[in-house]
């Protein structure tokens, strides 16, 4: 294979659901679409027809209504299916026609494993729905969950969605302040957690964290028994009960689905918290469902009965994305814990034993397997695996080559990119075009993705800002508690007036693919996990020794590593003991993912004349890029210490 050859070419593009969809569009609308490029161009030009066809082709349960798209002249005001009604959970439980098959398979490292059939999942949802109603949960109420990626989490989400409640989740490794910064804003009517979890073979106790969060949220607590400590923890709470106790009074019956407007709130996802507490991003039931059906059914070509896996926590939007796989009748393979415990092959063992068709992970995981000198191709039989998806950070060319050389040759590798902001992807794979080394295959159907320069012109043969110029169904409904949509507009629509600017540096390729070169804002992304600098500052600056700090992401070894600069109080030096103390505070108060790779002592922190620290300017200096607008700084000389900093060269 040479550099001018694609890594993968579809054996028969006409066998894909996407090709069948294209033929259906040709028949219904009298067009002559012949390629993916044709289909994408038509889907953007005729979005009302396209999204209506997605509804029909994917068999959405609900009432479409008479209009598909209104107020399209204003991207921010556009509305899809304004008189349509549906229920998200009803569509995800469509696997009822496979009652004997697995709906969910779960492994918690090597400590716990079990599976639920479709019938068992529906029974759990039925009992939970009744329990939620008995607790007074109604349409629009928020349910917050700090849970592992386990079957009970999926069932609780579906039960919430079935009655029109709004679901928000995070993973148990968040510190109590990180949990409260998120859930405290949305005032949940119920908080669901677990009694503990395992990571890297070690039991992680949550009792103290649960009590701390409970005192902050002042909501009733439901505890899932995962490690055998639920009853003990409940006994220490003023208003708590176990999940089993909660559902005990109720027998399974038919699940009742409240059909609600297409734009009814379904999820609240949280931004990274770069500039303060995380923003609460509200996503609609209809927009999420339609976008995920499009991505699962068409872009990933997932079929009923296939087994799909994504290595994710419940604090990442890929969990929400994975859960929607139920809507196409797929079996979800769930995993909680370290991807290298009890051994480095654990996820490939899982893939082999459960016959994964889709294996989703992060670029960092692929790189870690590559550097670990593992060659799954020689140790595992993966005949059912046809799609590997990678996201979280750009996948390097070495990562692409490793997949084909050492995992599987006849597999589609789909590097994908989108985010919490749209609970889906802007650019991703498709089963009709080749895979080229280092490239994402192209933009998603129905999404008017472009790359613009600083003057809002198409960036040809150059890097630029990833934008979307026309409305799409999975745009957020709003930010929670954001009067006048001020924060929402500022987040996406101020960089280019009235056009969604996503904050990614991107570049088109000669194959009509795309390369993401990283974030253009200050969000950190180590190992594919988005974290915010403000969450780190809030922990570090509790320490007496630290006067102030500044955090950036440094491009390093095909990934991003977190660098923390600290300005210490007089009389203190950055000893090994202080570094260990700083890391422990961050790990406990935020999460293990927030812990910096390097901590460096500095003599000053550069700031604007208004006193705001300038992360982006420091990041540019560290990477050897020029800093624009230095005149806005109160102390521009402070940037000099970051030039060719020795500590960052290793």
Q: Domains in the chain, ordered, with CATH?
A: 13-87+265-519 (3.40.50.12780), 92-258 (3.40.50.980), 531-648 (3.30.300.30)
- Quote the pLDDT of residue 274: 41
Residue, of 463 and 576, whose pLDDT is higher: 576
Band of residue 569 on the pLDDT scale cut at 50, 70, 90: confident
> DSSP state, 35?
S
| Cβ neighbours for 338, distance < 8 A, ≥ 6 positions apart | 109, 199, 200, 201
Average pLDDT over residues 555-578: 92
What are 381-406's pLDDT values in tens digits?
999 999 999 997 778 888 899 999 99
What are 476-511's pLDDT values in tens digits?
999 999 999 999 999 999 999 999 999 888 899 999
Sheet containing 356-362, strands listed edge to edge, beginning at the edge strand earlier in sequence: 112-117, 102-108, 331-336, 307-310, 356-362, 387-391, 412-415
CA angle, corner 403, sides to 400 and 409, nearest 5? Answer: 115
Give dist(CA 22, CA 389) in Å, integer.
23
Contact present, 341 and 201 (Cβ < 8 Å): yes
What are 16-44's pLDDT values in tens digits?
999 999 999 999 999 999 999 999 999 99
| Cβ neighbours for 142, distance < 8 A, ≥ 6 positions apart | 165, 166, 167, 168, 186, 187, 188, 189, 268
What are 615-627's pLDDT values in tens digits?
888 998 999 988 8
- Quote the pLDDT of residue 2: 44
Give dist(CA 328, CA 93) in Å, integer.
9
- Quote the pLDDT of residue 458: 93
Helix (H, G, I), strand (E, B), or coil: what is residue 542? coil
Band of residue 144 on the pLDDT scale cut at 50, 70, 90: very high
User: Environment class of residue 598 by beta-carbon count within 10 Å: exposed (0-12), middle (13-18) or buried (19+)?
Assistant: middle
- Quote the pLDDT of residue 463: 81
Indicate whether 96 pLDDT > 70: no
What are 312-364's pLDDT values in tens digits?
999 899 999 999 999 999 999 999 999 999 999 999 999 999 999 999 998 87
CA angle, corner 455, sides to 451 and 456, nearest 5? Answer: 40
| Cβ neighbours for 644, distance < 8 A, ≥ 6 positions apart | none
Indicate whether 632 pLDDT > 70: no
Helix (H, G, I), strand (E, B), or coil: what is residue 556? strand
Per this entry, what is the length of the chain? 650
CA angle, corner 179, sides to 178 and 185, nearest 5? Answer: 100
- Quote the pLDDT of residue 275: 45
Average pLDDT over residues 247-257: 97
Indicate whether 519 pLDDT > 80: no
Q: Where are the beta strands (DSSP E) in 351-510?
A: 356-362, 387-391, 412-415, 417-419, 424-428, 442-443, 449-452, 464-468, 478-479, 500-508
Task: Output the CA–CA distances (angstroms, integers) from residue 274 to 231, 279, 476, 533, 553, in the order listed.
Answer: 37, 10, 19, 5, 12
| Cβ neighbours for 353, distance < 8 A, ≥ 6 positions apart | none
- Quote the pLDDT of residue 634: 73
Indicate whether 602 pLDDT > 60: yes
Band of residue 273 on the pLDDT scale cut at 50, 70, 90: low
- Quote the pLDDT of residue 299: 98
Indicate whether 631 pLDDT > 80: no
- Quote the pLDDT of residue 396: 81
Q: How many Cα neighbours within 13 Å face the side chain of 262? A: 26
Indicate whether 610 pLDDT > 50: no
Task: Note the Cα 297 to chain centre separation in Å.
Answer: 19
Give dist(CA 599, CA 545) in Å, integer.
14
State what percent of residues in the chain have pLDDT above 70.
Answer: 94
Band of residue 544 on the pLDDT scale cut at 50, 70, 90: confident
Q: Where are the beta strands (DSSP E) in 445-544?
A: 449-452, 464-468, 478-479, 500-508, 514-519
Indicate whether 532 pLDDT > 70: no
- Quote the pLDDT of residue 536: 85
Give dist(CA 477, CA 494) in Å, integer.
17
- Quote the pLDDT of residue 591: 85
Give the residue from 384, 358, 331, 325 showing the smallest Cα distance to 98: 331
Task: Note the Cα 575 to chain centre separation in Å.
Answer: 37
User: Environment class of residue 510 by beta-carbon count within 10 Å: exposed (0-12), middle (13-18) or buried (19+)?
Assistant: exposed
- Quote the pLDDT of residue 1: 38
Average pLDDT over residues 205-223: 95
533-540 and 576-589 helices cross at what angle (nearest 10)?
A: 120
Q: How many Cα neighbours within 13 Å face the side chain of 96? A: 11
Band of residue 537 on the pLDDT scale cut at 50, 70, 90: confident
- Quote the pLDDT of residue 460: 82
Task: Output the CA–CA distances (angstroms, integers) from residue 390 to 35, 113, 125, 210, 243, in the order listed.
Answer: 24, 25, 31, 33, 34
- Quote the pLDDT of residue 28: 98
Residue, of 76 and 319, whose pLDDT is higher: 319
Contact present, 89 and 219 (Cβ < 8 Å): no
């Amino acid at each position: 294979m040479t550099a001018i050859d694609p890594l993968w070419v579809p054996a028969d593009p006409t066998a894909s659901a996407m090709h069948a969809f294209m033929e259906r569009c040709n028949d219904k609308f009298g067009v002559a679409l012949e390629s993916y490029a044709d289909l994408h161009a038509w889907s953007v030009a005729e979005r009302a027809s396209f999204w209506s066809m997605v509804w029909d082709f994917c068999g959405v349960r609900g009432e479409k209504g008479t209009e598909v798209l209104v107020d399209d002249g204003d991207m921010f005001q556009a509305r899809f299916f304004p008189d349509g009604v549906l229920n998200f959970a009803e569509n995800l439980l469509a696997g009822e026609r496979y009652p004997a098959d697995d709906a969910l398979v779960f492994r918690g490292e090597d400590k716990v494993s079990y599976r639920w059939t479709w019938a068992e999942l529906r029974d759990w949802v039925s009992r939970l729905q009744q329990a939620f109603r008995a607790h007074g949960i109604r349409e629009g109420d928020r349910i917050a969950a700090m849970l592992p990626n386990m079957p009970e989490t999926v069932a609780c989400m579906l039960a919430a969605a079935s009655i029109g409640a709004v679901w928000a989740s995070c993973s148990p490794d968040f510190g109590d302040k990180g949990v409260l910064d998120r859930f405290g804003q949305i005032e949940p009517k119920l908080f669901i957690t677990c009694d503990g979890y395992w990571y890297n073979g070690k039991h992680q106790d949550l009792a103290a964290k649960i009590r701390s969060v409970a005192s902050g949220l002042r909501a009733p607590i439901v505890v899932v028994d995962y490690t055998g400590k639920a009853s003990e923890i409940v006994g220490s709470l003023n208003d708590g009960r176990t999940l089993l106790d909660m559902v005990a009074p109720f027998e399974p019956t038919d699940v009742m689905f409240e059909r609600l407007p297409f734009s009814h709130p379904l999820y609240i996802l949280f931004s990274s918290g770069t500039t303060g507490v995380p923003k609460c991003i509200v996503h609609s039931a209809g927009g999420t469902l339609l976008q995920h059906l499009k991505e699962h059914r068409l872009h990933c070509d997932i079929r009923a009965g296939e087994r799909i896996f994504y290595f994710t926590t419940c604090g990442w939007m890929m969990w929400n994305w994975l859960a929607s796989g139920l809507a196409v009748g797929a079996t979800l393979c769930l995993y909680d814990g370290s991807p290298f415990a009890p051994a480095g092959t654990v996820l490939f063992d899982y893939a082999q034993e459960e016959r994964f068709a889709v294996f989703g992970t992060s670029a960092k995981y692929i790189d870690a397997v590559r550097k670990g000198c593992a060659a799954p191709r020689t140790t595992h039989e993966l005949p059912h695996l046809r799609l590997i998806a990678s996201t979280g950070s750009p996948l390097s060319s070495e990562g692409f080559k490793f997949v084909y050389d050492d995992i599987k040759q006849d597999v589609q590798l789909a590097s994908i990119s989108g985010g919490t902001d749209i609970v889906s992807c802007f650019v991703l794979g498709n089963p009709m075009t080749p895979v080229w080394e280092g490239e994402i295959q192209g933009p998603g159907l129905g999404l008017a993705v472009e790359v613009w320069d600083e003057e809002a012109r198409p960036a040809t043969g150059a890097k630029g800002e990833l934008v979307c110029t026309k409305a799409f169904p999975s745009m957020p409904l709003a930010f929670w508690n954001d009067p006048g949509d001020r924060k929402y507009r500022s987040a996406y629509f101020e960089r280019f007036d009235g056009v969604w600017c996503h904050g990614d540096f991107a570049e088109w390729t000669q194959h009509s693919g795309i390369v993401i070169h990283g974030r253009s804002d200050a969000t950190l992304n180590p190992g594919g996990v988005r974290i915010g600098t403000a969450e780190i500052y809030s922990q570090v600056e509790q320490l007496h020794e630290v006067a102030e700090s500044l955090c950036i992401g440094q491009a390093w070894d095909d990934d991003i590593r977190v660098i923390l600069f600290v300005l210490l109080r007089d009389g203190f030096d950055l000893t090994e003991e202080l570094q260990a103390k700083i890391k422990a505070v961050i790990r406990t108060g935020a999460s293990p993912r927030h812990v910096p790779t390097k901590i460096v002592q500095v003599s000053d922190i550069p700031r604007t004349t208004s006193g705001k620290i300038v992360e982006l300017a420091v990041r540019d200096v560290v990477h050897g890029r020029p800093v624009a607008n230095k005149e806005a700084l109160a102390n521009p000389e402070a940037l000099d210490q970051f030039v060719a900093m020795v500590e960052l060269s290793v």
